[in-house]
Amino acid sequence: MTKRPLMIPVLEIFGPTFQGEGRAIGQKTMFVRTALCDYHCAWCNSVFTWDGSEKPKRMTANEIIAELDKLGSYDYVTLSGGNPCLLGAKANMGELVVKLKARGVTLGIETQGSRWQTWLKDIDQVTLSPKPPSS
């Protein structure tokens, strides 16, 4: 019996564009925007990542990399959401991180910091945007 590959819920893959947040502001990057967020902030600029209005495409790490490759050359990828840190072992974000790092890609992530994942230690640039209880 073969194991099914673990899938990552992806809402969009786009770029190249420029990072607009954190210490990497101005950095040319590709974006992988994942679904799901454990906060539902009133001012969220990515409500579609958690409100159910858009259905994510379930993709393997290899499929995500193939989509990035179609967009052109890149050496920086930003993982965004929602909150990509919600995607632990069941979604296998760690495999995506390992495969991109093996290709020499610099990785950034945008998160509000509510969850720790072991693969975060391999992220080069963390943009942390904590949210208060009033969010």
List domains and CATH numbers for the chain: 8-128 (3.20.20.70)
- Of the two residues 73 and 21, the one the predictor is more confident about is 73
- Triad 125, 111, 133: Cα angle to 5°: 140
Is 68 a residue whose pLDDT tops 80? yes
> Considering the chain, what percentage of its residues have pLDDT values greater than 90?
60
89 has a pLDDT exceeding 80? no
31 Cβ contact partners less than 8 Å away, ≥ 6 residues apart:
12, 13, 14, 15, 17, 77, 78, 80
Please determine, for residue 128, whether its predicted confidence score (pLDDT) is greater than 80: yes
What is the rounded average pLDDT for all residues in the chain? 90
The runs of H, that is alpha helices, within the chain are 61-71, 93-102
Indicate if the pLDDT at residue 1 is higher than 80. no
- Kindly state the average pLDDT of the residues 78-93: 86
Q: What is the pLDDT of residue 88?
A: 79
